[in-house]
Structure 1
C-alpha cells in the first residue's frame, strides 16, 4: 500500500517538510494579487532532496512548483502543488571562475549575495532587478528577469550558460552550449533527453515564419516561451549596447544551441533548476546619475530617445505618486529631498564607466542635449555615492511604496509591465491613461523608460464587484493596445496568473499551439507549475482579496483606527494592519538594515515580517481554524519577533509587526495562562527595584552554582546568559544627595525619564546625563515613574500595562504642561512614550506626552546647534564604533546621536550597519541561540575588529549583548560625552 504523500516526503528528504495549515497559508501568496494554497512545502538541503521530492510527487501525480524569494508580481509562485523553496538551504555560491567570468550557484542564491561575492573580483551579474536584496537567482532565471540596466546588459537569458534541470518525471537535463556534433550526439539518445533535443528544433522550424512575424522586435519581451532564441537571425536585431556583440566576443564558447534558453523565462513550467552557471560582467569603476524633473509624463517619455543617444546605462522613471509617498516614509523621505514642488515625473539617468571624468562628461553632454527641452523643470546631477545611491534606492522601493497609498483602492499588479519600443512609450502611456480615465481609475506610471518597459498600476479594490469588472476590462483592452503597438504584455514580470490568459491572442493560434507542444514535450502530465504560460485562467480568478473575502470582528486592546482609516474602512483595524503587507518581501533581505532579524538568522518564511502578517491575516479572515488566532501554532509564528520595529521603518508599506505581536499576545492570554517567566519579565521594574535594594546579596545569589539552571527551569532564562548586575547605590539615591551645578536652571527645566534599567543596573549613565544637562544650563527633574510599562505590553499583559500607562501619562502630561521636554537615555523606554502610549491610550494627553519626548543625546545636539546651550568638550582623536538601538533607528533615526558625538572635537564616528543586536529586552534571555546568531551576523565581528576607540551603544540590551557575545564593554554615548566635558567648567 503506497505511503501518504507527506509521510513519504519526510522519509526521503533531509530538509524541511511542511504540511500544516499555517505553513501552507504562508506559501499561498507571493508579491502578487493572487492566493492559492499549496499541497505542501519542501525546503530541500541538496540536489538529492530535490530529486526525491520531484520523484515522490510524480509517483503521486502531484504538481511541483519551484520557488525562491516569492517576489513574483504575476502569481508565478503560487499553485496547488508541492512548493520547493530553495531559499533557506540551497543558497550557496559553489564556484567563482573570475578569469573566465563564470559563477556556479544553487538556485536560492540572492542577487545581492552574488554581487557581494563577485565584487572583489571586479565583476557583477548583469541583470539588476529592484528586488536584488531578496530575489533568488533561480527565480530570476525562471522569470527571465532584467532590471534597470537592461539597455546595457539585456536580460537573464543573455547571462545563463549552463543549467541543471529536473523534469517532472525525475529526468535530469544538462543544458549547456553545444556545437553541431554535440547536438547530434544528444539527439541520438533513446531517452527523454534525446526526444527533447530531437523535437524542440522541429517545433521551432515548423513555426519559424510565425516567430519572425509575431514576436515583438523589442528587448523587453518575457511573455510566452523563448522560441525566438532558436532563430539566429532575430538575435542580431535587438538594440542592446553590450549584450549581443560584446558578450559573444567575451564568451566564444556560447555554442550554436543551448537548451537553457527555453528553460529561462519558462516560470518553472518545464522543469526545476537545481544548479546554474552564469556569466558575470565587469563592474563599472564609476557611476553617476542625473535626476530630471519634468512637468508631465509625456515630456519625460518623449525625451528618452534623445537621451539614449548619450549611451546611458539606465533611464528610470518615477511618477508623482512615488515622489509623494517617499516624502512620508521614514526610510525614504530624505532620498528625494531635492525635488521641488509636485512634478508629474522624474527621470533618473545613469552613466557608468572606468573614470569619473568619463561619467562627468556624459552628465555634461546630457545637460547640453536637454538644455531647452520643453517640460524639463530641473536638472540635478549626482556623482557623490551617497546621494546617487539614495536616489537609486528610492527607485528600487517604488513598487512597495505604492502599496502604502491610503484608501481601499490600491495600485495593483496585473497589467503593470507592458513593453513597447522606447520611441512609442509616450503615445502608449497616453493611450493607456485613456483606458483608465474612461473608468475613473487612477494609475501610477514608473519603470524602465530606457527600454520602453513601463510599470503601470491601476488603483482598484478587488473586494468590490465593480472594480473586478474593471480589472478584467482593463486587462483585455491593454492586451489589445499592446497588439496594436506590436509590443509585449510583459516586459519583465512574466505571465503567471495575471497574463498567461492573453498569450493565445497576442502570439496567435500557431505559436500558442507550439507553446502547448513545448509544454507537453517537457512535461507530458502537466505537473510543472500548472496554470502558467499556456493557460486560459482569467486574471480575476484566485485573488487574495475577492468579493467573498471577509474579516472576523475582533475586539482589540490597542487602537487600530489609524490602520483602518489607511485601508479605507471603518471595520477591523487589526485585520487592516495585517493587510498592509503586500507580499513584496523586503523583509527577506539579509545583508543590510534591521528588518527582519529573526528571518536573517533562520531563513524561515514564518519568521519574516511577511510571514507573521500573513499568518495573522489568514486567521483574522477566517481562512484557518476558528481557534487559530490564539493557537500554539500562531504563538510559535509570533514568538521569534524581537519587536525591534525594524519593519515599521524599513517596510515600504509600514507594516508594524511589533504592534501586531502586542495585540496577538493580549488575545492569546485571554485563553492561555502566562508562564511564570512571562509574568516575572513583565514586572522588570519591580524586580530591578528589589534586586537593587538587596544588592550585593541579590547578585551573589544569582551567581551561586546551580542558580542559572534553576533560573532557566523556573523562568525560561537561558543558563548561558549573564544577568545584569544590580547596584545598591542606584541612580535615585545618588540624585537625592547630589549638588546641582551652579549654572543649572539658567536655560530652563527638563524632565529626565529615570528608567528602571539604567537607574538600578547602570546608574552611571543617568548620572552622566544629569552632569551634561546641568552643565548645559538646565534644571533636571526626575519623572519618578514606577516603570515606563514597556515590559508589560511587550509580554502581552496589556491590562497591567495600560493601567500603568494611564498613570504615567497623567504624571508626564502635568510635568510637561509648559512644554518642558521629557528626555531619556534608554531608547526603548523613552520611545515607548512616542510609539506605544498613543496606541494604548488614544487621548490628547498621550499625544502631548508624545510630542514632548526626545532621546537625550539628540535633544542636546539640537539645543547646541541652535545656540541655546554651550557645552565644551576635550578633543578625542579616536574612532568610535556606534551601534544604534533598533527602536531608535526605526522611529527617530540615529542622526541625533551622531550629531551629539560630533560635538567632541576630532572624534570620528562610524555607524555599523548591524541591524538588531539580537538581545531585544527579554528575547535574548529566552532565545539564546537565535539571539547570538543575529549578533554574529554583523555586530559581533565589527566589535571584535574595532580597536581604535570606544564601542558605543545607546541600548541597555545592546550593551549586554555585546558583553556576552564579544566581551566588549560598550559605553552609552552620553557616558562618552560626559567623560569628554572640559574640566575647566566642572564645579
Structure 2
C-alpha cells in the first residue's frame, strides 16, 4: 500500500492545477466568454466546471485531452446554436456519443457535444422500405430491439452494442461480428442530416446527375462543396483505386471511393468514418436488413489459432452470418480472471477456435447449414473437433467467452497492463493465417504479449498489447513496433484499422498504408468540409503523433495515498486500481445491474466509468485539485448505490462500491458526517436499543408528529415510512424455542441486523428449513454485526473493528470449519468481498470468507438431496444487486426449480433502496426511477396468487413501501413448501 495521504491543500507535494486562463490563451479561445454566450441561448446544459471537463478528458484509448467544456444539447436547434457560437469564438467542436472510441477520437481540447442524454430518439422505422431514421444519440441495441419487432435488424454490431450510439458508429464506421451478414456502417447509411462548422445544414446521400445539376444551379456553399469533392475524386482517382486495399474490413482513412467517377457520388458514405473531423451529424437514415428468425452456433476447435485462421475461407464459403475466432491464450486469461465461469468447458478440444453462426427461416434450416459445413470440415486437414449449439441459452454462454476478450486481456493477473495501439488490424481473410504467424513473430521479437481474437470471417484481428507507456524507452519501443506492424499489414494488402478507425493512435501510420498522395487527398477532403480546421482537429488528418497526449506518458506521477482497503488485485496500489477502467463504457448499458444511477439519470458522472475517471483525475491532481476533499468526486460518488454491479458486470472488474467507501473514509476525516450517516450507519446499535422497548420505538418513529419530525431531522423523504421494529427479535425467539430431538451437522446461522430486528419471521423460517435438511442450527455466542451499512458512509475504521470482533467471537467455530449461513446477500458480500480486503493477510479472515454461504448456495452445495415439497405456483424473483453481481443467481434458480415453481428472474438490476439510499430525501427520485425501470411494473402486473421473492431486506422494503404487495424471502418460500401451501 502507498504511504502519503492525499488531503488537497495539505498534501505534502503541492497540487498542479490546470491554469484555465493560460489554456484559454493557448487555445486562442476565451473560455469564460464562450461559456457565457452558450448559457445565454441554449436550452440544453452547458458545463465548463472542472469536474465535467475531467469527465470527458479521455475515452477508451491511450489518450487524454481536457476539453474546453461540455454541451449537452436538448434539441437540434441547440446543436446549431452551439456551433454558431463556437464559430464566433473560433472554438473547436467534438461530437461524442458514448465515448467508447479506442483511438482517441473522443477526446480533444474542444467543446464536447454529448448527444447521448437527449438526442436519442428513433424517429421512424419503415418496415416496408427497411429503413430507420434516428438521432445520433440512439443506442444501437435500442434500434435493434425496435427493428426486431418487425423482423429486421441493423447489421453492424460492435461489442459495445448495449450502449454505443449510432452517431459514434457513423463516426467510426463500426462493424462487429454480424457485419459478415450486412457490411460495415458505411454500407448501411443511406442519408445524413449534417451541419458544417461554417453553418451549412443539408442532407447528403447518393447524388445522381440530375440532383448534382440542381445543387450546382442553386450555387452557394453547398454547391461549392459538391463541385470540389467531385473534382477531388477525379483528380485522385488513380491512387485511390491503386492504394485502397480491396478487403472486407478497410476502416482506416476517409471513404474517398464514394467520390470516384462512375460511383454513385455518395456523400453520406464518404462522411461515415470521418470521426467528427468534417461535420456534425444531426440525423441519419439507415438501412435495415432481415433478421434471421432462427440461429445456430457451430464451434470448431483447431490445434492452434493459425490453423483456425487458415480454415476461414472454407468456412466463409458456407455462408455464415458471423464468424469469430480466438486463441488459447485468450481462453487461458479468461479462466485465470474468473470470467465467464463454467462457459469455457463448453468449447470443443483445441487451442484455437472458430465460432460460426448460421441463420435460417427456422431452426431446421439454420442447423442444416451448420451440419453441411461440419461434413465438409470432417474431410479437412487438420480435422477440427466440433460442437453444435442449437439451444439459444447455451449458444449465448459460448458467445460470452468471446465477449470476455477485453476483460480478459486488459488486466491479466501478475502481468503488465495492456493497451490499444495495434488493436484492430485487418487483412483479406485468405491471408489471415499468414498474418497471425508473422505478427506473433513480431511480438516475440519485441518481447510483447498479446492474445489473438476477433472477426476472423472478415480478416479482422483484435489484440491488446502490454506496451510500456510510462517510460521514454518504453514509448520509443511502442512507436517502433507499430511502425513495423503497419508495414507488415500493408505488405499483405491489409488495413491498419479494421474496426476502430484512426483517431490519433493510427493517423501517423496512414502514409505507410496509403502513401503520401492519398494522405494529401484526405487533407483536402477535410479542408473542403472544414476549412478552418475546427472539427475535432488533430485527429486523422495532420494528427498528433501517437506518443503525444498519452493518458500516462513520462509525466504520469499520481500522488501516493494511504488506503484502508488492501487492493490485492492491483498490487496494493490505489492508483493502479484507477487504471482498471479502460473506458469502453459497459456501465452505460440500460440492462443488468450496472450502473443503476446512470440508468436513472443518463449522466456520465453517474456511470462507473465517469466515477473512475474522476478518481483518476483526482490522483493526477491537475484538473481536479481537491484531493480526498474534491467536491466533484464527492458529488459523483454520492449517487453510487454501492450495488457492486460493476464488480460483477464490468469487463475489467472496476469495484466502485469499494472505491466509494475508501473515498468517503478520507473525505469525512476530521469532519462530522450528516446525521443520517450515524442514524443508518449505526443501525445495529439503534436496533439493539429499540429491542428493549420496540413498542415505544415504533410509536415515536411511526406516529405523527413524531415520525414527521424524525424524518425531517434525518433527511428522510416524506413519502417514506420508517420500518417497524419486531415486537420480539429473532435471537431471543430462537433461544426460547424447543430444538429438534435429533441434532444434525452443526452450522451457524448469521442473525443479521435486519432479519433479527425487523423480519424475524425470515430467520425463523430459515431455521425450520435448515433443520428439515438435517442440520443443527446455532447462533454466534454474542451479538455481532457485519457492519454492511458502515461502508456506505466510509466508516471503515469502525467496520474493521466489527470484523475483528467477529473473528474473535467465532474463533473456535472458524477453526472447526463450521459453515456460516447468511440470509441477507449484502451481509454475505461483506464476508466475501470486504473482509479479505480489510484484513488482508489474516488467515482467519481467509478461512471465514471461504466458509460463508447464502441459504440457496448452502442447500445446493451441502444438502443437494434435501426435499421440501413442491409449489405449483407462479413466482416473480428479484435478485438483490449483490446477489446478482457477486454471487450469481444459479443456486437460487436451482432451488426454485426443485420446488416446481414456474418462476421468472427479473432483469431488474438494483431496486433503488440500497439501505439508506432510498430513504434519503435528495435521493428519493433516483431511487424510485431505479425501481420503476423493471421491478415495480413487474410487481404490479403480477397476479395476486403469484409469489414475489426477494432475499434482500432493502428490496423487500422498496416493494412494500411502493406497492400493496408483500414479497417473501427464499426461506419463507421453502417453509411454504414444507407446509404444503
TM-score range, shorter chain: over 0.9
SS of equivalent to 2:345: coil
Match for residue 695 of structure 1? Answer: 694
Specify which of 219, 222, 229 is matched with residue 193 of structure 1: 222
2:909 corresponds to 1:915: yes
Aligned-residue offset at 1:516: 1.3
1:144-176 CA deviation, whole Å, 9 max, x = no partner?
111112222111111111211111122212113
- Are the counterparts in 1 of residues 522 and 541 from structure 2 also a CA contact under 8 Å? yes
Query: How far apart, CA to CA, are the structure 1 residues paired with 2:514 and 2:301?
Result: 38
Q: CA deviation at 1:575?
A: 1.4
Task: Provide the secondary structure at the position in 2 that maps to 1:293.
Answer: strand
State TM-score, norm by structure 1: 0.93
Q: What's the TM-score, normalizing by structure 2?
A: 0.94
SS of the residue corresponding to residue 918 of structure 2 reads helix
Name the SS for the 1:54 alignment partner.
Answer: helix
Contact 1:296-1:375 within 8 A present in 2 as well: no
Which position in structure 1 is the counterpart of 2:134? 105
Alpha-carbon distance in structure 2 between the residues aligned to 1:683 and 1:740:
32
What is residue 891 of structure 2 aligned with on the other side? 896
CA distance in structure 1 between the partners assigned to 2:823 and 2:73 by the alignment: 46
1:170 paired to 2:199 = yes
- How far is the alpha carbon of 1:890 from its aligned partner? 2.0
Cα distance in 1 for residues equivalent to 2:625 and 2:92: 29
Q: How far apart in 2 are the matches of 1:693 and 1:161?
A: 72
1:874-911, CA deviations, whole angstroms, 9 ceiling, x for partnerless residues? x321111111111122222111122222332x322211
In 2, distance between residues paired with 1:890 and 1:140? 29
Change (3 A) 1:403 1:930: same
SS at match of 2:883: helix
**In structure 1, what is the equivalent of residue 68 of structure 2?**
39
When residues 722 and 330 of structure 1 are mapped into structure 2, their CA distance, relative to the original with a 3 A threshold, is farther
Q: Which residue of structure 1 aligns with residue 713 of structure 2?
A: 714
Greater CA deviation, 45-54 or 465-474? 465-474
8 A contact 2:305–2:326 mirrored in 1: no
Distance 1:625 1:301, change over 3 A: closer
1:547 is aligned to 2:571: no
Change (3 A) 1:811 1:74: same
Q: Is the 8 Å Cα contact of residues 284 and 353 (structure 1) preserved in structure 2? A: yes
Partner of 1:134: 163
Q: Is 1:954 aligned to residue 951 of structure 2?
A: yes
Matched, 1:942 2:938: yes
Q: Which runs of 5+ in 1 are unaligned?
A: 236-255, 566-571
8 Å CA contact retained: 1:88, 1:603: yes
How far has the Cα of 1:232 moved from its partner?
6.7
Match of 2:125 among 96, 120, 132: 96
- Tell me if the contact between 1:460 and 1:471 (Cα under 8 Å) persists in the aligned partners: yes
Q: Who is 2:107 aligned against?
A: 78
The residue number in structure 1 matching 2:586 is 586
Question: Residues 305 and 328 of structure 2 are in contact (CA less than 8 Å); yes or no, is this contact kept in structure 1?
Answer: no
Equivalences for 1:839-858 in 2 at 5 Å?
A: 839-842=837-840, 843-858=842-857
Q: CA deviation at 1:458?
A: 2.5
Residue 215, structure 1, aligned to residue 239, structure 2: no
* 1:376 Cα offset (Å): 4.8
What's the CA shift for 1:983? 6.7
Hey, what does 2:276 align to over in structure 1?
Answer: 268
Conserved in 2, the CA contact under 8 Å of 1:15 and 1:44?
yes
**CA offsets, 1:419-474, max 9 Å, x none?**
11111111112221222111111222111111111123322221133321121011
Q: How far off its partner does 1:609 sit?
A: 0.8
- Tell me whether 950-959 or 688-697 shows the greater mean CA deviation: 688-697
For 1:536 and 1:144, locate their aligned partners in 2 and report how far apart those are by CA, in whole Å.
19
Match of 2:576 in 1: 576
- CA deviations over 1:707-754 (Å, ceiling 9, x no partner): 4543343212212112211111221221121011233x1x31110111
How many residue pairs align between the two structures?
A: 947
- Does the C-alpha gap of structure 1 residues 929 and 85 become closer, same or farther in structure 2, counting only changes over 3 Å? same
For residue 933 of structure 1, report the CA deviation from its aligned partner. 0.3
CA distance in 1, matches of 2:84, 2:398: 47
Aligned counterpart for 1:60 among listed residues 79, 89, 106: 89
- Partner residue, 2:495: 488
Please give the per-residue CA displacement for 1:46-96, whole angstroms capped at 9, x wherever unaligned.
Answer: 101111111111111110000011110111111110011111111111111
Rounded to whole Å, the distance in 2 between the matches of 1:301 and 1:65 is 38
CA RMSD of aligned residues (A): 1.9
Q: Is the 8 A contact 2:695 2:727 kept in 1?
A: yes
Q: Which moved more, 1:505-514 or 1:923-932?
A: 505-514
Indicate conservation of the 8 Å contact 2:298/2:386, yes or no: yes
Q: 1:265-303 deviations in whole A, cap 9, x for unaligned?
A: 110111011111111111111111111122212101110
Alignment partners' CA distance in 1, 2:261 and 2:160: 32
Post-superposition Cα deviations, 1:403-433, rounded to whole Å, max 9, x if no partner, equal 1213452332112212111111111122212
Q: What is the distance in 2 between the residues matched to 1:232 and 1:291? A: 44
Distance 1:409 1:833, change over 3 A: closer
Deviation for aligned residue 1:502: 1.7
Contact 1:628 1:634 in 2 (8 A): no
Helix, strand or coil at the partner of 1:799 = helix
* 1:318–1:345 Cα contact (<8 Å) kept: yes
Paired with 2:380 and 2:475, the residues of 1 have a C-alpha distance of 40
495-504 or 806-815: bigger deviation: 806-815
Structure 1 residues 510 and 983, CA gap change in structure 2 (3 angstroms): closer
Going from structure 1 to structure 2, the CA distance change for 1:331 and 1:909 (only over 3 Å counts) comes to farther
